[in-house]
């Protein structure tokens, strides 16, 4: 009896245990299938297609609302390897205009990415090619299209300023989760500086597809879809017509032109030559063209305006004069004698009237005069026995004009140039074992000094403003969340008081306005402007031609720097190019067609 009772007890325990397990499974299945549909969605993945909706990228306009960059429809062909079944690959390759080897290579790359997740098989297909490909796509299971946009540059100018976009790399993806493999990002120029403004926000949609890869409609009536947000348009400070004219003048030359609006710091034009058509770095040909440009011996990918560094030459004499005036070791009436090419320790390039006062020295660009000014800065009372302190005072004045540092605005890949510290000379010559005579080449803008054309254009703007500047920049405005955002940069002051600029500006006017000025032949009838020539010594070949200027003299509208590499005297090539740019910007037309024709017909590449 006891054994029978024990059997009945075990029966009830086992039955209860089975009922408990069954109940647990039922509850779990209910939770999975009714409140939580994630497994339902996973099970349906083989008939659902998740498509990223890319926003239209923001447009780019110049300061006069001229369209510089817009979007053109394009498509990426994506593949899910696990869904691919046997088909005629030769026919497929003929439709895509790729080789069998390219097909195999791309498909293997997709397999390495994932068998079950989509990846780009062929990128940036034009809307013309898309039309006939879409009609035949049902024959190729596992492949589908995703809409994108390509950048188009209608004016084919300002390639370095506008920049280009390219596919994200692992570094981009790791830094910002917004990006996925196959996405595009601004790689240079405005496209890079304002990527977060221009890119917009991605959306997504889920489509139902049949076994033939044909869409059957939206999943759950689009309940899980999100709408893409277009990127914001950006207006930049550039004047497209002036930019186009500058690029035309610089054809068959190496160098750059940078023009700035002194009252705002707006960069009106930034020409670097040789350049390239920005449309070359768009679409599937981008990688091929980039490789060709990269190997070009003329280095068209280099932005000479922001990355090229040069000695400033005679243009730097103006800055040494300003420092001398500020340190009260130089006055407008100060005279120094010049013996022409026989002068020592720095010879003059030519004979001229002597002795000279400050205005005459600038007008004639007299080397010995500015050596004496430079020496007087270092020979001030209290400095004779402390060269490092004297040099630091001089250097602090120089850097207050924007030299030796970056502007840190929206200018990518900017070089800071070089204004050496006193410790550099201590290391070279020994501490306190050097003098002004040791570094005398700095008096005439040679030696270890290196500047960029952008910095020299900013220097011109400081001269035009008599002592201050707004950091050079490209952004004019953009609209974000319905609010207009304008560029705002604070005024920066040099260490020289406004009164000390008066004599310098008068002298710069004489450089052009006087018959004895070094650039008298580039004067513009009816317009008073100020400038300074520079012939920059080049240890690797023929001297560089440099010119800085601003105009009009009163209430200046434009300040600029022009440099033509290996072109000789500053008055020969850089000065007339600057003069034509000024005439074009201020008057809107060119009356001195003989000068324009001379520049346009010149080819200085053969001398380089």
| Final residue in a domain of this structure, among 177, 211, 236 | 236
CATH number at residue 561: 3.40.710.10
Same domain, 185 and 70: yes
Q: Does residue 2 have a pLDDT over 60?
A: no
Same domain, 447 and 511: yes
* pLDDT tens-place string over residues 250-289: 999 999 999 999 999 999 999 999 999 999 998 878 888 9
* pLDDT tens-place string over residues 184-209: 899 999 999 999 999 999 888 887 87
pTM: 0.86
Same domain, 496 and 527: yes
CATH number at residue 121: 3.90.1310.10
pLDDT at residue 51, rounded to an integer = 78
> Which range (50-54, 156-160, 253-257, 498-502) has the least confidence?
50-54
| Final residue in a domain of this structure, among 236, 259, 283 | 236
Mean pLDDT on 128-134: 83
pLDDT at residue 7, rounded to an integer = 57
Same domain, 443 and 578: yes
The half-sphere exposure of 44 on its side-chain side, counting CA atoms within 13 A, is 15
What percentage of residues in the chain have a pLDDT greater than 90? 63
| Final residue in a domain of this structure, among 219, 236, 253 | 236
Give CA–CA dist 247/271, Å, rounded: 6
Same domain, 384 and 531: yes
pLDDT band at 3 (very low <50, low <70, confident <90, very high): low
Same domain, 244 and 378: yes
pLDDT band at 309 (very low <50, low <70, confident <90, very high): very high
pLDDT band at 212 (very low <50, low <70, confident <90, very high): low
Q: Where are the beta strands (DSSP E) in 499-577?
A: 530-536, 544-551, 558-564
CA 79 from chain centre, in angstroms, equals 35
Tell me which of 223 and 410 has the higher pLDDT.
410
Mean pLDDT on 129-150: 86
pLDDT band at 70 (very low <50, low <70, confident <90, very high): very high
Give CA–CA dist 499/340, Å, rounded: 31
Q: How far is CA 77 from CA 96, 267, 286, 301, in A?
A: 10, 40, 17, 30
DSSP state of 233: P
* pLDDT tens-place string over residues 356-400: 999 999 998 999 999 999 999 999 887 767 899 999 999 999 999
Residue 460 has phi, psi (to 5 degrees) of -60, -40
Mean pLDDT on 88-96: 90
pLDDT band at 328 (very low <50, low <70, confident <90, very high): very high
**Two tokens at 316?**
């730097």
pLDDT at residue 220, rounded to an integer = 73
Tell me which of 162 and 16 has the higher pLDDT.
162
Mean pLDDT on 279-304: 91
Mean pLDDT of the chain: 89
Contact 397, 466 (CB under 8 A): no
Residue 353 CB neighbours (<10 A): 11
Q: Which domain holds residue 215?
A: 47-80+105-236
pLDDT band at 477 (very low <50, low <70, confident <90, very high): very high
Assess if residue 69 is contained within a domain. Answer: yes
Residue 224 CB neighbours (<10 A): 14
pLDDT at residue 468, rounded to an integer = 98
* pLDDT tens-place string over residues 5-55: 555 666 666 777 778 787 777 776 666 555 555 544 444 445 777 778 889
Same domain, 260 and 187: no
DSSP state of 536: E
Contact 530, 514 (CB under 8 A): no
**558 bridge partner residues:** 551
- The domain tally of the chain equals 2
Give which of 241, 260, 249 is closest to 551, Cα–Cα: 260
Most distant CA atoms of the chain, gap in Å: 140
Assess if residue 14 is contained within a domain. Answer: no
Assess if residue 86 is contained within a domain. Answer: no
Assess if residue 318 is contained within a domain. Answer: yes
pLDDT at residue 41, rounded to an integer = 45
Give CA–CA dist 373/390, Å, rounded: 14
Assess if residue 19 is contained within a domain. Answer: no
Give CA–CA dist 377/383, Å, rounded: 9
**Two tokens at 227?**
């709408």
CA angle 364, 367, 373 (to 5 degrees): 105
Q: CB within 8 A of 520, min separation 6: which ones?
A: 511, 512, 513, 514
* pLDDT tens-place string over residues 425-456: 999 999 889 999 999 999 999 999 999 999 99
Residue 12 CB burial class (10 angstroms; 0-12, 13-18, ≥19): exposed
What percentage of residues in the chain have a pLDDT greater than 70? 93
**Two tokens at 375?**
């020496």
Residue 420 has phi, psi (to 5 degrees) of -60, 150
Q: Left if phi > 0, otherwise alpha if psi is -120 to 50, otherwise beta: which for 180?
A: beta
Q: How far is CA 330 from CA 7, 336, 494, 502, 589, in A?
A: 120, 11, 18, 14, 41
Tell me which of 43 and 136 has the higher pLDDT.
136
Same domain, 326 and 351: yes
Same domain, 459 and 521: yes
Assess if residue 170 is contained within a domain. Answer: yes
CA angle 230, 232, 235 (to 5 degrees): 150
Same domain, 212 and 226: yes
Q: Where are the beta strands (DSSP E) in 390-543?
A: 468-469, 475-480, 483-486, 492-493, 530-536
Residue 251 CB burial class (10 angstroms; 0-12, 13-18, ≥19): middle
Q: Where are the beta strands (DSSP E) in 128-283?
A: 143-152, 165-167, 184-186, 203-209, 215-218, 234-236, 255-261, 266-273
Residue 39 has phi, psi (to 5 degrees) of -70, -30
Give which of 579, 583, 311 is closest to 453, Cα–Cα: 311
Same domain, 323 and 365: yes
Same domain, 558 and 470: yes
Assess if residue 296 is contained within a domain. Answer: no
Assess if residue 147 is contained within a domain. Answer: yes
Give CA–CA dist 521/515, Å, rounded: 8
Tell me which of 145 and 1 has the higher pLDDT.
145
Q: Does residue 1 have a pLDDT over 60?
A: no
């Amino acid at each position: 009896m006891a054994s029978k009772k024990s059997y009945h007890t075990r029966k009830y325990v086992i039955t209860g245990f089975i009922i408990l397990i069954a109940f647990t499974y039922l509850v779990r299945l209910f939770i999975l299938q009714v409140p939580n549909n994630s497994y339902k969605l996973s099970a349906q993945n083989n008939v659902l297609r998740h498509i990223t909706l890319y926003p239209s990228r923001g447009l780019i306009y110049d300061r006069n609302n001229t369209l510089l960059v817009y979007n053109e429809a394009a498509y990426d062909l994506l593949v899910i390897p696990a869904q691919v079944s046997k088909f005629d690959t030769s026919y497929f390759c003929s439709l895509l205009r790729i080789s069998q080897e390219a097909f195999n290579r791309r498909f293997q790359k997709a397999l390495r990415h994932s068998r079950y997740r989509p990846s780009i098989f062929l990128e940036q297909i034009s809307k013309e090619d898309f039309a006939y490909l879409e009609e035949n796509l049902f024959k190729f299971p596992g492949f589908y299209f995703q809409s994108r946009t390509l950048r188009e540059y209608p004016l084919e100018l300002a390639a370095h300023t506008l920049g280009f976009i390219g596919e994200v790399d692992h570094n981009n993806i790791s830094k910002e989760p917004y990006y996925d493999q196959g996405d595009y990002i601004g790689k240079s120029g405005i496209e890079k500086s304002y990527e977060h403004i221009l890119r917009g926000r991605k959306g997504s949609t889920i489509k139902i597809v049949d076994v033939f890869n044909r869409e059957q409609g939206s999943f759950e009536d689009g309940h899980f879809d999100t709408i893409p947000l277009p990127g914001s348009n950006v207006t930049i400070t550039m004047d497209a017509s002036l930019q186009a004219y500058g690029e035309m003048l610089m054809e068959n030359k190496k160098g750059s032109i940078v023009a700035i609006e002194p009252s705002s710091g707006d960069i009106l034009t930034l020409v670097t030559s040789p350049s390239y058509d920005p449309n070359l770095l768009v679409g599937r040909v981008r990688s091929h063209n980039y490789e060709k440009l990269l190997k070009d011996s003329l280095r068209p990918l280099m932005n000479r305006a922001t990355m090229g560094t040069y000695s400033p030459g005679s243009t730097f004499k103006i800055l040494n004069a300003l420092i001398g005036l500020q340190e009260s070791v130089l006055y407008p009436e100060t005279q120094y004698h010049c013996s022409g090419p026989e002068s020592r320790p720095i010879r003059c390039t030519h004979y001229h009237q002597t002795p000279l006062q400050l205005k005459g020295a600038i007008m004639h660009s007299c080397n010995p005069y500015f050596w004496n000014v430079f020496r007087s800065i270092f020979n001030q009372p209290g400095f004779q026995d402390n060269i490092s302190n004297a040099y630091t005072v001089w250097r602090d004045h120089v850097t207050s004009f924007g030299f030796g540092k970056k502007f840190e605005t929206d200018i990518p890949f900017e070089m800071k140039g070089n204004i050496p510290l006193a410790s550099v000379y201590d290391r070279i010559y020994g501490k306190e074992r050097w003098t002004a005579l040791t570094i005398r080449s700095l008096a005439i803008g040679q030696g270890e000094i290196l500047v960029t054309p952008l910095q020299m254009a900013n220097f011109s703007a400081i001269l035009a403003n008599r002592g201050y500047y707004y950091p050079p920049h490209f952004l004019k405005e953009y609209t974000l969340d319905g609010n207009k955002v304008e560029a705002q940069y604070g005024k920066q002051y040099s260490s020289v008081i406004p009164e000390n600029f008066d004599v310098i500006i008068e002298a710069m006017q004489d450089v052009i306005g006087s018959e004895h000025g070094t650039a008298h032949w580039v004067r513009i009838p009816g317009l008073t402007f100020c400038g300074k020539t520079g012939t920059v010594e080049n240890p690797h070949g023929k001297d560089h031609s440099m010119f800085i200027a601003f105009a009009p003299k009163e209430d200046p509208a434009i300040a600029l720097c022009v440099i033509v590499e290996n072109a000789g005297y500053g008055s020969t090539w850089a000065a007339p190019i600057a003069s034509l740019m000024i005439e074009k910007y201020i008057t809107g037309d060119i009356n001195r067609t003989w000068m324009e024709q001379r520049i346009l017909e010149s080819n200085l590449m053969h001398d380089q």
